[in-house]
Amino acid sequence: MLEHLTTETRNEKTMNLDEMSIFDFLTTMNEEDEKVASAIKKELPSIAKAVEAIIEAKKQGGRLIYIGAGTSGRIGLLDAVECPPTFGTSPDEVVGLIAGGEKAFIKAVEGAEDSKELGMEDLQNIRLTKADIVVGIAASGRTPYVIGALEYANSIEAQTIAVSCNKGSDIGNVANIAIEVVNGPEVLTGSTRLKAGTAQKLVCNMLSTASMVGIGKVYGNLMVDVQLTNEKLVERAKRIVMEATSCTYDTAEEYLAKANCNSKLAIVMILTGLSYEEALHRLEQTQGFIRQAIVN
C-alpha cells in the first residue's frame, strides 16, 4: 500500500508548509535536497554494477533503453535524447519510452502507467532483443507499466535494471540489478517530481555518462564525440581539440576540416601525424578509444 512507501509519507519538517514564510520554506527545501546526493552515495555499488552491465551490452551491439511513466518516464527520455549530441550516438542506441507514448511527455495520459501489458507491448514495438539492456524507472517502485516491461525483458533474457526511491521495491525485486535511492519524504507529500525526480536524474546521469566513458566516447574528460550541429558546438569542438593536443586555434580549425568535423579523428591525426584514412583505421582497431589509438 502507498502509506508504507517512503516516497508517500509526510515530512515532519513541513507539516505547516502553508504557514511557513517563503524563505523558511526554501531553506527547508534546500536542506532536504542536500540529502539526495548522500542517499545516492549509498547506492554506488549497485550503480557501478549497472554501468558495467550497460557497457557489456553496448559492446555487444545492444541498446540502452529507459522506460517509465510520468516524471520517471520524462527523466529517462531527457537522458536518452541528450546522448546523440553529447556522445555521437545514433538516436536508436539510447532509447527513452514513456507510458502513453511521446505525447505523454507534455500531457499525462491517464491510466497508461497502470497497464503491465502496455509496458511489454512498448518493448515489443521497438523489437527488444536479449542484447539490449532495460532500465525501468519508478519513484514508488511499484508502477505496473514498468513491472510489465521488466518482466518481459527478463523473459527474453535481456539484462534489467531498476531505479526507484523505496527499499524492497517491486521493480527492484523483478530486475537483475536494483538501484534504490531512499531520500526520505518529500517536502510536499507524495510529489515525487522533487527529491525522487532529482535522484533519478542524477542516477541516469551516472548510468549514461559512465557507460559512454566505458565504450570510448570520452578522452580525458573531453566530449570528443560531440556532434557539431550548431556554431556553439563547432567552437566547442575546436576547444576540445586544442585541449587534447595543446595545439593552436588555427591548427584545431585546420584539422577539424581535414577530419570532416570529427573531433576524434582530428585529435588522433594531430597527435600521431597519421592521415585521415590511417587515423580512421587506427580508431576502428581500438574500438574508438583515443588513448589506445595514439600509442599503437
**110 counts as catalytic:** no
- Note the Cα 160 to chain centre separation in Å: 14
Using the structure block, give the residue that is written with the C-alpha cell 519508478. Answer: 138
Options 93, 113, 186, 253, the catalytic residue: 113
Q: What is the DSSP annotation of 50-110?
A: HHHHHHHHHHTTPPEEEEESHHHHHHHHHHHHHHHHHH---TTTEEEEETT-GGGGTS--T
- CA-based torsion, 245, 246, 251, 253: positive or negative: positive
Options 56, 82, 151, 254, the catalytic residue: 82
Contact 112, 104 (CB under 8 A): yes
Using the structure block, give the residue that is written with the C-alpha cell 587506427. Answer: 282
- Note the Cα 241 to chain centre separation in Å: 26
**117 counts as catalytic:** no
- Catalytic positions, written as ranges: 82, 113
